[in-house]
Amino acid sequence: MPWILVGIGLLMYSPAYRAAHGGGWIGPLGTIWGGFGMTALLAVGAVTAVFAALERGASRPDFLENWNPRKLPPVRDPNRIPRGTSIADLVANVVFASWWVLFMSTPTVLDRPGIQIILAPAWIYFFWGYLVLAAGNIAMAGANLLQPNWTRTKAGLRLVTNLCGSALFCVLCQSDILLTISLAVDGSPNGQSIADAINTWASRVLPFAVGVGLLVLVVDVRRLIRSNAA
């Protein structure tokens, strides 16, 4: 989301930036949304393929003729954690933590001949906050691999980490974290005006961030209640 906001801000306020990327909006917007669109396409495509296969199997004339309730799988334990989920969680957090340390450890997140993006000094607190959360998620994923069941302790820790992550993001949206953008292009607008515009748009994301955080909180609370009842 921060990179999308930066790209849209440059397209809106920098004719020189638009000219450097083809002179229009279609090409740069396609580049900005390309990664997001591909991810959404893969997710929707996978779900569609699964349900298409289920529907095709259910449409066979003999679908129910050989059905035997004794062949049904055992009842799924809602507190059991699939090992595939734990492995994916572990890999995702290791990759994120590595990228976070390599590219986001300083306020100067982009320093190229044509553009420089500098974050506010308060960025260091967000950097360490998300790094600690990533380390906690790595440890929890490892524990879930060894003991693939939700316990009251693990469910409570997951609730705390998700709540802290959501709170950090909400504070980030209101922190005017983008200090300045410097463009080494003739005729480009003042970098501070671009930074201010992007910070304004980031603050408008706050209601959506709060909504997503509340949904995650509901899921985590349900998990905690379920683990207490087990």
pLDDT tens-digit readout, 173-206: 999 888 888 776 555 556 678 788 888 888 888 8
Chain center to CA of 111? 24
Q: Are 193 and 13 in contact (CB under 8 A)?
A: yes
**Domain end call among 72, 88, 104:** 72
- Domain range holding 173? 77-230
Residues 128 and 149 in one domain: yes
Total number of domains constituting the chain: 2
Q: What is the mean pLDDT of the chain?
A: 79
Residues 145 and 221 in one domain: yes
Residues 109 and 29 in one domain: no
Name the residue type at position 65: E
Residues 106 and 213 in one domain: yes
Both tokens of 155, joined, read 């469910």
pLDDT tens, position by position, 37-54: 666 666 667 667 776 776
Answer whether residue 68 shows pLDDT above 60.
yes
Residues 145 and 208 in one domain: yes
- Between CA 89 and CA 177 the distance in angstroms is 28
Residues 174 and 200 in one domain: yes
**Domain end call among 52, 72, 92:** 72
Residues 96 and 62 in one domain: no
- Between CA 117 and CA 111 the distance in angstroms is 7
- Between CA 10 and CA 5 the distance in angstroms is 9
Residues 15 and 122 in one domain: no
Residues 21 and 96 in one domain: no
Pairing type for strands 178-183 and 108-111 reads: unpaired
Both tokens of 70, joined, read 């004794």
Across residues 111-134, what is the average pLDDT? 89
- Between CA 153 and CA 164 the distance in angstroms is 17
Q: What is the pLDDT of residue 215?
A: 92
**Domain end call among 17, 48, 72:** 72
Residues 55 and 86 in one domain: no
Residues 67 and 81 in one domain: no
Q: Are 10 and 194 in contact (CB under 8 A)?
A: yes
